[in-house]
Amino acid sequence: MIDTKKLPGVLGELLAAQKNFDSGAFVKTFAENASVHDEGGDYHGSAAIKLWNEETNKKYQTRMEPIAFNDSKGESVLTIRMSGTFPGSPVEAKFHFVISDGKIISLRID
C-alpha cells in the first residue's frame, strides 16, 4: 500500500470519501463538467457521477486500497486493489485521472 499523503491532494480526498461511502464528498473532487468511464458506461457531470458512485456503493460496497501511483504526461495512474460484494473480489484496477486546477476532469477505470 502507498501513503495517500504522497498522492495529489484531490486523489487523497477521493479515497477518503470512498472509504466513508460519502458520495457528496466523492463528487466534490470532480470538476462540474467531468467525465467518468467505468465498465462500459460513461457518466458526464456532477449529478451523473454522484449517482454512479451512490449506486456502485449500494451494489458493491467497494473498498479501495491504493497500491501504486504514476504521474506522467498529463495523466495520473493510480493502481487500486478493490474489494467488495462483486464477483472475483478483490481485483486490481487502474484509475486513469486527468487533473486540472485541483479537480478531476476525467477518470477512466480499467
Distance CA 19, CA 82 (A): 11
Q: What is the pLDDT of residue 94?
A: 97
Q: What is the mean pLDDT of residues 79-87?
A: 96
pLDDT, tens digit (0-9, with 9 covering 90-100), for 84-94: 999 999 999 99
Q: What is the mean pLDDT of residues 60-83?
A: 95
Q: What backbone phi and psi angles, to 5 degrees, belong to 18?
A: -65, -40
pLDDT, tens digit (0-9, with 9 covering 90-100), for 3-27: 888 899 999 999 999 999 999 999 9
Domain boundaries, the chain: 4-109
Q: Please report, as a single letter, which amino acid is at residue 75.
A: E
CA dihedral 40, 76, 9, 84 (to 10 degrees): 40
Distance CA 60, CA 89 (A): 10
Domain covering 4-109, topology: Nuclear Transport Factor 2; Chain: A, (3.10.450)
Q: What is the pLDDT of residue 74?
A: 85
**Residue in the block written with cell 464528498:** 25
Judge whether 17 and 30 are in contact, CB under 8 Å: no
Q: Give the pTM.
A: 0.94
